[in-house]
Structure 1
Amino acid sequence: MTQPTPDERLRRWRLLLGGPTRSGELADGTGCALGEHDRRLDAALAALYDSAPFGVPGQAPPKGKKEKAPKSAGLGQSAPAVAAWLGEVRELFPQSTVQIMQADAVEKLGLQTLLLEPELLNQIEPDVHMAGTLLSLKDAMPDHAKALARQVVGRVVSDLQARLAEPLRSAVTGSLNRSQRSRRPRQNEVDWGRTLLKNLRTYDPERRSVIPERLVGYGRARRKLKAVTLCLDQSGSMASSVVYAGIFGAVLASLPSLQTNVVVYDTGVVDLTEHLSDPVDVLFGVQLGGGTDTSPALEYCKGLLHHPEEHTFVLISDLYDSDGPQMIRRLREFAEMGVRVIVLPALDDDGTPSYHAEYAAQIAALGIPVFACTPDHFPDLMAAALQGADLNAWAAARGIVTARAGQS
């Protein structure tokens, strides 16, 4: 890797440190003059990170900190100003950086209310976190802003489906087929690859072909042979997990040999199964925020367990519950009924969720696997669950840390 020159290192320090400057004037402390492009970079960064260095404008700095004198640049509380800033950021920075700066702007400068403005929504770079923010604000949006917000969320859904839908379909379909293998398949049900492998000893050199003595194939799948229920905690901290779970739920529902239900809850319970044909409808049926009361949701889901031994139940929650002992008792009941229960404290890309460790350990003591899962791992997880694999071993083989009994 080529090492930066001393001038380039000085330039980078200048952009990192910032500092008051006027056109044609050297930056304080570095003696480094900025070109036109760098001045634009500096102004975009300063508008976000220098105008309110300790949070929302007007917030006092932490003890022991001296607040910097703010620059004249800043986002203010104006939708046109923020929209112009977003456009500038999208032009100057790579997409991954844009998404970080958008999230920081919402958090640092308190721009949630401005996200209701169509002018601002048109400039947003869609990503999972922004989709979660918009979903949490949807009930406060006027109709004209809500239509644009649906478009933004729809773009996120389309991008994620393009990446994740086919791996999930392939993994789950393969799992269901393998669990229904037949030794007396009909012609259109023969698994020719496995049949050839099972009959290699009957190879006829003269005919240059295998004469199979035993056919191996897939049995005719009974409609809705297996079932999956995704039960989603829709408290505000679970926003990204809800976005991913809604998309996965819609994909699973598209598989005719699988019965899929999606239930969301906070202090109330909503069954979104009838909306699974459109994942955007699923997400807009979610009410992010509020408290967490899992027990009523589990009681509702119990009514969906028509064939417990064929049912995989996935609870996606950080387990910060208003009645943890009751939640754990109901999960124990599910496991004793023969349901394959999985608890995911998070289903997102972060990988280090905050969750109630004591409750997680108590659930793990019941033999129920508890671990965070990234979206890329979820297809294989569902395939392993439907095959009845040891999910703690599955997680360990992938370096995923699971909750253990006695840990807290």
Structure 2
Amino acid sequence: MSNEQPRDSEQHIRKIRWRLVLGTGTEDVLGGLPNEWCDRDAAMGFLYNREYGAGRNVRQGGRGNEGDEGGERKGSLDPSQLTVPDWINAVHELFPRKTIERLEKDALERYHLEEMVTNPDLLSRAQPSQTLLKAVLRTKHLMNQEVLAMARQLVWKAIEQLMEKLARQIQSPFTGTVNRQRRSFLKIAKNFDAKTTIRRNLKHYDPGTGKLYIQTPYFYSRMRRQVDRWQIIILVDESGSMLDSVIHSAVTASVFFGIKALRTHLCLFDTSVVDVTQDCTDPVETLMKVQLGGGTDIGQALSYAATLVDNPRRTIVVLITDFYEGAPIDRLFAVTKQLIESGVTLLGLAALDEQAEPNYDRAIAQRMVNLGAHVAAMTPGELAEWVAQKVQ
């Protein structure tokens, strides 16, 4: 009995793989696909349904090229089709690296699906969005210089939209509280001091008309929290599964860099560490340096962070990773313990994006918590609140 189950399972997986290769129409022989494989089937169909022409069989469920001879255009109730950016993102999320490389090779060389990597006219008409941003970051290594320059403009537009959305959320915890003992010459409506304004302008009251004329309005100042240049060291895992977090980390670090009370460092890592602090004010430049994929050495990243620490008790290390360590695990725990015992505050984030839905190695994260680290999944606004509370 115990020997049959693995064989059945292996045969089932083999059938699923053949079903993906052969496409729809083979269900009677191979059976249907489990739900978790349907997205893979759709992604493969987007590319390989193009595999037909005069005298060749059409993979059932596919849609023909409109220019094919004898092709007949018909309306249908088929599911909505993937766009090229959607397809690129789906492929990178659904398949292992070797499969991705083969799919991209076939897309470019066999089917000439070149819209995203060779056609600047198409890119110039594309609407900036986070979906498009991710697709560009995943395929920039395939682009020629002309297309890369156009793609960089799209990345900038998409980042501008994200900055407008997130900047206020990140900055507001650091703006301080109203100081009612100190006047300010900055005329900001929310700091208007009505009581002082009325009292000091009473000499301009006109009994005849019953009106008080305000010649000099008065405003409160705002008191900045006492944060004596805390260090924030942000380490970002640039593996493909962390792309949303990489994008939001670049924006968050850029905003942090503009807060004078903080000294911000930003580093990207896989099996090596790249310090991109000099590009902190330009999240586009930071993102264009991202190299997705590869291994993961979290311990080495934390070791590098340790070399940047000036005052451990005024330092926060924000480690953004899925905690799937590829290097020896003992070194990761050793450097974690060393940092925490020195007085550094270590925050591990399994996700930093608008959804904050983590997928991570819970066992490794828990062992780091046992050593004194904090582990969470946060939005950029929540991270800013957390940092602001720590540095008060």
CA distance in 1: counterparts of 2:387 and 2:283, whole angstroms: 19
Partner of 1:357: 362
Counterpart secondary structure, 2:337? helix
Secondary structure of the residue that 1:251 maps to in structure 2? helix
Native 8 Å contact 1:129 1:239 kept in 2 = no
Q: Which residue of 1 aligns with 2:339?
A: 334
Alpha carbons of structure 1 residues 301 and 163: separation in structure 2 relative to 1, 3 Å: same
Match of 2:86 in 1: 103
Structure 2 contact 299–332 (Cα < 8 Å) conserved? yes
In the alignment, structure 2 segments of 5+ residues that lack a partner are 1-38, 52-57, 68-79, 92-102, 194-220
Q: Which amino acid aligns with 1:107?
A: A
Give the equivalent residue in structure 2 for 1:170.
Answer: 172
1:299 is aligned, of 296, 303, 311, to 303
Paired with 1:51 and 1:252, the residues of 2 have a C-alpha distance of 41
Matches of 2:295 and 2:148 in 1, distance apart?
Answer: 24
The answer on whether the counterparts of 1:172 and 1:382 sit within 8 Å (CA) in structure 2 is no
Specify the alignment match of 2:199 in structure 1: none
How far residue 339 of structure 1 moved from its aligned partner, in angstroms, is 1.2
Q: Which amino acid aligns with 1:354?
A: N
Distance 1:302 1:75 in 2: 59
- For structure 1, list consecutive stretches of 5 or more residues without a partner in the other structure: 1-47, 61-66, 77-96, 197-215, 388-408
Shift of 1:379: 2.8
- 1:69 equivalent to 2:60? Answer yes
Deviation at 1:331, TM superposition (A): 1.6
* Cα deviations by residue, 1:357-382 (Å, 9 ceiling, x for unpaired): 11011112123221211234333233
Structure 1 residue 105: Cα displacement: 6.0
What are the within-5 Å matches in structure 2 for residues 140-155 of structure 1?
A: 140-155=142-157
Taking a change above 3 Å as real, the CA distance of residues 337 and 52 of structure 1, as seen in their structure-2 partners, is closer
**RMSD (Å), alpha carbons:** 4.0
Q: Is the 8 A contact 1:99 1:125 kept in 2?
A: no
Give, in angstroms, the shift of residue 219 of structure 1: 7.2
- Which residue does 2:20 correspond to in 1? none
Show structure 1 runs of 4+ deviating over 6 A: 48-53, 97-101, 185-189
Closer/same/farther in 2, CA of residues 363 and 154 from structure 1, 3 Å limit: same
The sequence identity of aligned pairs, in percent, is: 29
Distance apart, 1:272 and its partner CA: 0.7
In 1, Cα distance between the equivalents of 2:312 and 2:40?
53
Does residue 256 (structure 1) correspond to residue 260 (structure 2)? The answer is yes
Rounded to whole Å, the distance in 2 between the matches of 1:329 and 1:383 is: 28
Pick the aligned partner of 1:370 from 343, 350, 375. Answer: 375
Query: Which amino acid letter does the alignment assign opposite residue 248 of structure 2?
Result: Y
**In the alignment, does 2:293 pair up with 1:289?**
yes
What is the deviation of 1:151? 1.1
Q: CA deviation at 1:154?
A: 0.7
Matched, 1:311 2:311: no
Counterpart-to-counterpart distance in 2, 1:141 and 1:53: 22
For 1:324-368, what per-residue CA distance to the aligned partner results, in whole angstroms no more than 9, with x for missing partners?
A: 332122122111111111100111234332211110111121232
Deviation sequence 1:58-95 (CA, Å, 0-9, x none): 799xxxxxx9713443599xxxxxxxxxxxxxxxxxxx
More strand by percentage: 2
1:375 and 1:340 mapped to 2: Cα distance? Answer: 18
Q: Secondary structure at the match of 2:352?
A: coil
Distance (Å, rounded) in 2 between the aligned partners of 1:354 and 1:59: 34
On the 8 A contact 1:133/1:239 being kept in 2, the answer is no
Change (3 A) 1:51 1:289: closer
Deviation at 1:307, TM superposition (A): 0.8
2:244 equivalent in structure 1: 240
Q: Measured at CA, do residues 186 and 320 of structure 1 come closer, stay the same or move farther in structure 2, by a change above 3 Å? A: same
Tell me, yes or no, if the aligned pair for 1:51 and 1:71 is still in contact at 8 Å.
no
| Structure 2 residue 117 is the aligned partner of structure 1 residue 116 | yes
Which range moves more in the overlay, 102-111 or 116-125?
Answer: 102-111
Measure how far apart 1:245 and its partner are.
0.3
Post-superposition offset of 1:235: 1.1
How far off is 1:104 after superposition? 3.8
- Answer whether contact 2:49 2:62 (CA < 8 A) is retained: no
User: Given residue 150 of structure 1, which amino acid in structure 2 is its aligned partner?
Assistant: R
Seen in structure 2, the aligned counterparts of structure 1 residues 384 and 133 have a Cα distance that, compared at 3 Å, is farther
Task: Give the TM-score normalised by the residue count of structure 2.
Answer: 0.62
CA shift in 2, pair 1:98/1:253, >3 Å: farther
Amino acid at match of 2:330: P
Shift of the 376–259 alpha-carbon distance from structure 1 to 2, 3 Å rule, reads: closer
State the match for 2:272 in structure 1.
Answer: 268
Residue 132 of structure 1 deviates from its aligned partner by 2.6
| Residue in structure 2 matched with residue 137 of structure 1 by the alignment | 139
Count of aligned pairs between the two proteins: 286
